[in-house]
Amino acid sequence: MGLVPKKVRHELNRLYRMGEITKKQLMDQMRNGLFDHERLAMKKKLEKILGKEE
Amino acid sequence: MDFSGILEFFEQLEASGGWFYDFLSYFVAVGLVFLFIIYLLRLWRGEINWLGQKIEDPNIPELSLKEREELESQISKLIQENELLLKQVNKKDRMIQKLNKEINEIKKLYIELDEKYADETYTMSQIMYTAEEVAAALVDEENFLVNKDDIYDNVLDYLINTLRDYREKNPRIVIHIPHPEKEDVLVHYAHSGGHSHRIKEYEPPIYGSAAGRAWRNNEVYYIPDVEDSQAEYDRKMNSSKQYRSILSVPLSIGQDKSTCIGVLSLTGKPVDAYEKIEIERVVLFSKLLYPLILMDINRKGVIQDGFGSEKSKT
């Protein structure tokens, strides 16, 4: 988790433009957990509640 | 017919061959046998005693008329209560169905919200990388001058990455700045991937192009459909019909026109390609790029006496 190195980012940009990776893959790999931990924690919490209900 | 008549009738039957009395005796015998079997069965089951009297169930107490009436009234009350409970159960059942429906809608909304939240966190990462690369370019000017095209290519890619449906929209960006010699047109400064080399030759007029209008008014100008005759747009520019939407964003600081140093234009293939949030992101990235473009323009001396030419904006 953390900043993705510049070279890797540029490569990801290239791969996405070429259609070799999906938007989701680009998003996940570019973000690499940055700014996303609160969202994931909330998602986990909700899934736990829904899991209990079901 | 009196009794003597009946006797006479039987005598006549007897006289006619005697079969009737035989039949009658068999019939009576079979009937007696059946009755006896029924008697034995009931006796065996304990329903009657040897004398054929009915046996009462000792577990069931004998009830008085008043008690019986009370019991009947309780039964009718219980029936009413049962009906009431059934109605309540049905009502609760309907409520549960309604709540389940609402839960499903909330789940759908949550999924939608989560997708948007994910999009925002991803956009934050792109902003961070852009800020980092702009800062790196400002720090290492020499490297920036050598790799300027690549740097802009990557930085503009971060902006494009934040737009939705890349494949359908085919977004392309070009940045124009004031022409160093001509007052009535802007000139190419940088562009994203996907453009032909001719993009460098195009000079949008200050009057009669989307970029020119954004420059003149220092305002974001979005044309959802370039085929709209009311739009201020240079139709020669779209001769190959690669896009239908265009967004032009002035590179400036706030409302102060004198700070405007250029225009960033983004095209989109379909009609009305960009949502409000995407337009806002483009504005955000234009602010991020501002220091880098300003540094470069000042270095080149493109803009004399400060920022944009006042003559071209009036």
Q: Which residue range is the domain that position B256 belongs to?
A: 125-313
Confidence at residue B238, expressed as pLDDT on a 0 to 100 scale = 55
Count A/B contacts: CB-CB distance under 8 Å.
51
Kindly report the CATH number assigned to the domain that includes residue B281: 3.30.450.40
Residue B263 scores a pLDDT above 60: yes
**Domain-located, residue B104:** no
Q: Which residue range is the domain that position A11 belongs to?
A: 6-53
How many domains does chain B fold into? Answer: 1
How many domains does chain A fold into? Answer: 1
Residue A1 scores a pLDDT above 80: no
Confidence at residue B239, expressed as pLDDT on a 0 to 100 scale = 62
Distance between CA B131 and CA B182 in Å, rounded? Answer: 32
Confidence at residue B303, expressed as pLDDT on a 0 to 100 scale = 53
Which of B:190-209 have CB within 8 Å of A? 193-194
Tokens 């004398």 locate to B51
**Domain-located, residue A1:** no
**Domain-located, residue A16:** yes
The partner residue sitting opposite A43, judged by closest CB among B114, B124, B157, is B114
User: Checking DSSP bridges between strand B245-251 and strand B172-178, what pairing results, if any?
Assistant: unpaired
**DSSP sequence for B210-221:** HHHHHHHHTS-E
Looking at CA atoms only, how far is residue A30 from chain B in angstroms?
A: 7
The partner residue sitting opposite A13, judged by closest CB among B128, B154, B167, is B154
In this predicted model, what pLDDT tens digit does every residue of B174-224 receive, in sequence order?
A: 999 999 999 999 999 999 988 888 889 999 999 999 999 999 999 999 999
**Sign of torsion over alpha carbons B272, B273, B276, B282:** negative
Average pLDDT score over chain B: 89
Residue B304 scores a pLDDT above 70: no
Spatial neighbors of B144 by CB under 8 A, at least 6 apart, are B137, B138, B151, B292, B296
In this predicted model, what pLDDT tens digit does every residue of B33-68 receive, in sequence order?
A: 999 999 999 888 888 888 888 877 667 677 788 888
Reported ipTM exceeds the 0.85 cut: yes
Residue B310 scores a pLDDT above 70: no
The answer to which of A6-10, B23-27, B106-110, B234-238 has the lowest mean pLDDT is B234-238
Confidence at residue A52, expressed as pLDDT on a 0 to 100 scale = 66
Distance between CA B86 and CA B92 in Å, rounded? Answer: 10
Confidence at residue B186, expressed as pLDDT on a 0 to 100 scale = 97
Closest chain A residue to B130, measured at CA: A6
> 10 Å Cβ neighbour count for B225?
15
**Domain-located, residue A11:** yes
B162 interface with A at CB cutoff 8 Å:
no
Looking at CA atoms only, how far is residue A14 from chain B in angstroms?
A: 9
Confidence at residue B48, expressed as pLDDT on a 0 to 100 scale = 86
| Lookup: tokens for B210 | 């989307």
Confidence at residue B12, expressed as pLDDT on a 0 to 100 scale = 80
Looking at CA atoms only, how far is residue B248 from chain A in angstroms?
A: 23
Looking at CA atoms only, how far is residue A52 from chain B in angstroms?
A: 14
User: Which residues in A lie closer than 8 A to residue B118 (C-beta atoms)?
Assistant: 27, 36, 39
Residue B168 scores a pLDDT above 70: yes
